[in-house]
Structure 1
Amino acid sequence: MARTTGVVRRERITHFSNGDLTFPARDRGPLDGIPVLLLHGWPQDGSSWDAVTTRLNDEGFRTFSPDLRGVSATANPRSRRAFSGSALRSDVAAMVAQIGQRVHLVGHDWGAALAWNVAAHEPDLLNSLTAVSVPHPSAFLRALVTSRQGIASWYMYFFQLPWVPELVLGSRWFMTRALMTTGQRRELADRDARRNATHGLRRGGLNWYRGAVIDPFDAGSPTPIPVLQVWSEGDSAVLRHSIDRTEAYAGGAYRLKVLEAVSHWIPDEAPEELATELIAHFDRAWELR
């Protein structure tokens, strides 16, 4: 795949829109580079991809790292029903339409679940899919009732309660410690806990969990686009059982990359290794077109 030369490192702030919602996004790399859309997880924002995008930009890709629904004041509806799978998918479809061409879609954590959602229902928007840490949502749901995943995901049940999770997570000390137990470094855990200090942003993040219960994910058909699933052996939130079930939802080329000695927070903890895998995946997807 021919790549753009003359990399632009300067960050541009782009604003995507979907109806009355506006999503600020970090736009980096050459303006004519092949676009890569990166979806963050909870409790993070688009800046969680910064270390990864630096390498992608150096390779000539243009990267977009938006703050998703629930994260910014300009895209944070109060109702959990506004966080249905179809509503979240419409956000990504609107972003791709405004980018103006098919993208390589990459997601981590909840962003990976959303990326699978888009790939299953609107594959024509994408050149490839990369899901980081989180498998296909249907594989995850099955694992909840057939493996230890149901115990590992105890917090997802707790988050369904009204008001109490917002209150508990309002303690920056508690949230920092909770994130550290999943393997996140102290300074990064404190960063994410500090960013979620306002009640509105905590509610927005929790609504991803609450909306998933109200509107269960429609698995759709196995996606025909090339898929890279990345998982780490140190992930205490997502266990291997659901990862092994995921290939069934890929109708085309599929590859699983397992990282050793890495926690759930792959974009922060292993950005160089992840970027290397992404670039190779993008090149293979281009060859398969």
Structure 2
Amino acid sequence: MALLAPLLYVRTSMLDIAYETHGPLDGEPVILLHGFPYDPRAYDAIAPPLAERGYRVLVPYLRGYGPTRFIHDQVLRSGQQAALAKDLLDFMDALAIPRATLAGYDWGGRAACIVAALWPQRVRALVSGDGYNIQDIAQSTAPRQPETEHRLWYQYYFHTQRGVDGLTANRRELCELLWSLWSPTWSAGPSLYEQTAPSFDNPDFVEVVIHSYRHRFMYAPGDPALESIEQALAQQPAITVPSISLCGADDGVGPPSEEDEDAVHFSGVYQRRVLPGVGHNIPQEAPQATLDALLELLA
């Protein structure tokens, strides 16, 4: 059964961000960020133990998911990496959080990595699913090994009108397929999917997802208001805050390499942990390992 947590909203310049909150308001803040195609249910086994230890835990719905809504019709429904990071920064500003520990994977890990890299004074520590998640867009169109290209089929599908129509018509079925392909050894996944699937009924879900996967390949322009952030990210900035990278050994979309190719991007205290029997949805598949990493950094 999904955890029932208070659902609150905070307004930024673009969004009414819905978020779940646990623990005391005066506790040290920890922000937990989900990815695609997931939602805050990924942290149901992690947020309560953190709250019990006195931390203020916040779990927002990303743009395009669940009850989070854009506040203006004219705003580009961007899914680019700079938009996700700006949302996180704006979320912290709106709640007057000067500094927080961040944990995220997939899209949420990207937002967390970017804020940690560009605004390190705002981040005490970072737990990142699959290491350095900042996209190198300039290199995005270079061919990859055939096995990798095969795993990215859904991204190429989203580059077409057929993909737009398919995601629109079959969003729940398509996302359920991705769950199974990306976490092939997660036996509990199928029974938990229906707790998360309603988050994909957000009216902006399809547009945000499509833009995300087109922008990263330079097939769609970004939001001009975010261009300065994208330019900074093009330099592939290092992450200096204390960090732990958690990688699922059975990840069906981005299996970890034997050598840690991301280590060069972390210039502070850094560890990489490969988790046997874990796929792409790291916090929901390996809540204890995720909680342990957070508590180690918070100690």
SS at the partner of 1:251? coil
Q: Which residue of 2 aligns with 1:16?
A: 10
**Deviation (angstroms), 1:79:** 6.9
Separation of aligned partners in 2, 1:143 and 1:260: 31
Separation of aligned partners in 2, 1:169 and 1:129: 34
CA 1:275–1:84 in 2, change beyond 3 Å: closer, same or farther? same
**Deviation (angstroms), 1:146:** 5.1
Question: Do structure 1's residue 279 and structure 2's residue 286 form an aligned pair?
Answer: no
Whether contact under 8 Å (2:244, 2:272) holds in the other structure is yes
**Deviation (angstroms), 1:181:** 2.5
SS at the partner of 2:207? helix
Question: Do structure 1's residue 137 and structure 2's residue 97 form an aligned pair?
Answer: no
Match of 2:115 among 118, 128, 148: 118
Q: Which residue of 2 aligns with 1:229?
A: 245
Q: Which residue of 2 aligns with 1:209?
A: 213
Matches within 5 A, 1:1-289: 11-71=5-65, 72=67, 74-75=69-70, 82-97=78-93, 98-133=95-130, 135-138=132-135, 145=143, 147=145, 148-162=147-161, 164-168=163-167, 170-171=169-170, 172-183=172-183, 185-197=189-201, 200-213=204-217, 214-215=221-222, 217-241=233-257, 244-283=260-299
Whether contact under 8 Å (1:37, 1:64) holds in the other structure is yes
CA 1:119–1:45 in 2, change beyond 3 Å: closer, same or farther? same
Report the more deviating stretch, 142-151 or 245-254: 142-151
Residue type of the partner of 1:186? Answer: P
Residue type of the partner of 1:208? Answer: S
Structure 2 unmatched runs, 5+: 223-229
SS at the partner of 1:23? strand
RMSD of equivalent CA atoms: 3.0
Whether contact under 8 Å (2:32, 2:57) holds in the other structure is yes
CA 1:94–1:264 in 2, change beyond 3 Å: closer, same or farther? same
Residue type of the partner of 1:112? Answer: G
Residue type of the partner of 1:210? Answer: R
**Deviation (angstroms), 1:195:** 3.6
Residue type of the partner of 1:110? Answer: W
SS at the partner of 2:244? strand
CA 1:62–1:160 in 2, change beyond 3 Å: closer, same or farther? same
Q: Which residue of 2 aligns with 1:5?
A: none
**Deviation (angstroms), 1:226:** 0.9
Whether contact under 8 Å (1:230, 1:259) holds in the other structure is yes
SS at the partner of 1:164? helix
Report the more deviating stretch, 127-136 or 36-45: 127-136
Report the more deviating stretch, 250-259 or 166-175: 166-175
SS at the partner of 1:83? coil
- 1:22-73 deviation per Cα after TM superposition (whole angstroms, max 9, x unaligned): 1011111122211001111011222321211112112221110001112145
Whether contact under 8 Å (2:61, 2:68) holds in the other structure is no
Whether contact under 8 Å (2:182, 2:251) holds in the other structure is yes
TM-score w.r.t. length of structure 2: 0.80
**Deviation (angstroms), 1:201:** 2.3
Separation of aligned partners in 1, 2:106 and 2:258: 14
Separation of aligned partners in 1, 2:270 and 2:111: 18
CA 1:241–1:169 in 2, change beyond 3 Å: closer, same or farther? farther
Residue type of the partner of 1:158? Answer: Y
SS at the partner of 1:137? coil
CA 1:219–1:131 in 2, change beyond 3 Å: closer, same or farther? farther
Residue type of the partner of 2:82? Answer: S
**Deviation (angstroms), 1:208:** 2.4
Residue type of the partner of 1:115? Answer: A
Separation of aligned partners in 2, 1:143 and 1:112: 22
CA 1:174–1:96 in 2, change beyond 3 Å: closer, same or farther? closer
- 1:138-186 deviation per Cα after TM superposition (whole angstroms, max 9, x unaligned): 4796797454433322222222223534424633445423422322521
Identity, in percent, stands at 23
CA 1:143–1:265 in 2, change beyond 3 Å: closer, same or farther? farther
CA 1:149–1:135 in 2, change beyond 3 Å: closer, same or farther? farther
